Amino acid sequence: MSITNFITAGCSFTAGSSDKIFAIQNPIVWPHFLLTALDPTFFYNLSMSGGGNFAIANNLTYLLNSKNYINAKDSLIIFNISGLDRIDTMVSVDHPDANKSFSWDKDFEFGWITEGGFNNNKNVFNGLLQKNMGFEQVQILSCLSMVQCFSYLESRNFNYYFMLMNDTILDSPLWFNDFLNKRQDKWIQFDQGKSMYEYAKNTNLLKEDKFHPSIHAHKLIADQILHKINF
């Protein structure tokens, strides 16, 4: 497989530098550990800490729509689905509450307010969006954003794979579980868990925050991705 474009997206479980050389020399997340083996010409990491699925889906489709030189035949896309209790709001680049970890804001000419988890009091909305809309509605919108993303990639024949942030994503409507299960060949799972969090937890490789995978866990996740995609 010859890869010109290696594109990743997700939340803090994927977020890291998009600078290919820097990432190879200072790997901290699974996309960085894949760079040496994949040896892509270009590397795009669209992830941001706290990002929800609306932002993940829209960042991916915007990149592919706006960069016409990215061809499906020589591109590989891998992303993580984030928590279904998160909600994102697109804002101007200079918005004071825009997510500071989104490094593509100047290029895309928009930023994101990421509204964290359902029970997480976080500026600027302090969870009011989720509370006023209701968790079920937030969950449905999150699932629909992913369905649109998958449909976009498949309609344009992009080679893609996905992972789950954690197993709570499976506490989703049955139709969304069915949607994911029909894409088992694209779903990167682990012997020790279906999601990245469960894998790191079950192998005692969580960071000190007891939530994110450690750097060593990210390296092992990258190894399993390579096995899955038969590179």
CB 118 within 8 A of CB 134: no
pLDDT tens digits, 39-62:
999 999 999 999 999 999 999 999
Residue 1 has pLDDT above 70, yes or no: no
Q: Give the pLDDT confidence score for residue 191 in this predicted structure.
A: 84
Average pLDDT over residues 20-43: 97
pLDDT tens digits, 162-208:
999 999 999 999 999 999 999 999 999 998 889 999 999 999 999 99
User: What angle do helix axes 30-38 and 215-229 make, rounded to 10 degrees?
Assistant: 50
pLDDT band of residue 119 (cuts 50, 70, 90) is: low
Hey, where are the domains in the chain?
5-86+134-229
Q: Residue 34 carries which side chain, given as an amino acid letter?
A: L
Residue 117 has pLDDT above 70, yes or no: no
Q: How many C-beta atoms lie closer than 10 Å to residue 108's C-beta? A: 17
Residue 231 has pLDDT above 80, yes or no: no
Average pLDDT over residues 73-100: 94
Considering only 64-68, 119-123, 164-168, which range has the smallest mean pLDDT?
Answer: 119-123
pLDDT band of residue 13 (cuts 50, 70, 90) is: very high
Q: Residue 39 carries which side chain, given as an amino acid letter?
A: D
What letter would DSSP give residue 73? G
Q: Give the pLDDT confidence score for residue 122 in this predicted structure.
A: 64
The rounded distance, in Å, linking the Cα atoms of 91 and 129 is: 15
CB 17 within 8 A of CB 45: yes
The HSE-up count of residue 230 (CA atoms within 13 Å, CB side) is 3
User: Is CATH 3.50.50.60 the right assignment for the domain spanning 5-86+134-229?
Assistant: no
Q: How many helices (H) and strands (E) does the chain have?
A: 9, 6
The rounded distance, in Å, linking the Cα atoms of 230 and 28 is: 23
Q: How many C-beta atoms lie closer than 10 Å to residue 169's C-beta? A: 26
The rounded distance, in Å, linking the Cα atoms of 201 and 31 is: 20
Which stretch of DSSP H or E encloses residue 151? helix 135-155
Q: Residue 15 carries which side chain, given as an amino acid letter?
A: A
CB 75 within 8 A of CB 4: yes
Q: Give the pLDDT confidence score for residue 126 in this predicted structure.
A: 73
Q: Give the pLDDT confidence score for residue 49 in this predicted structure.
A: 94
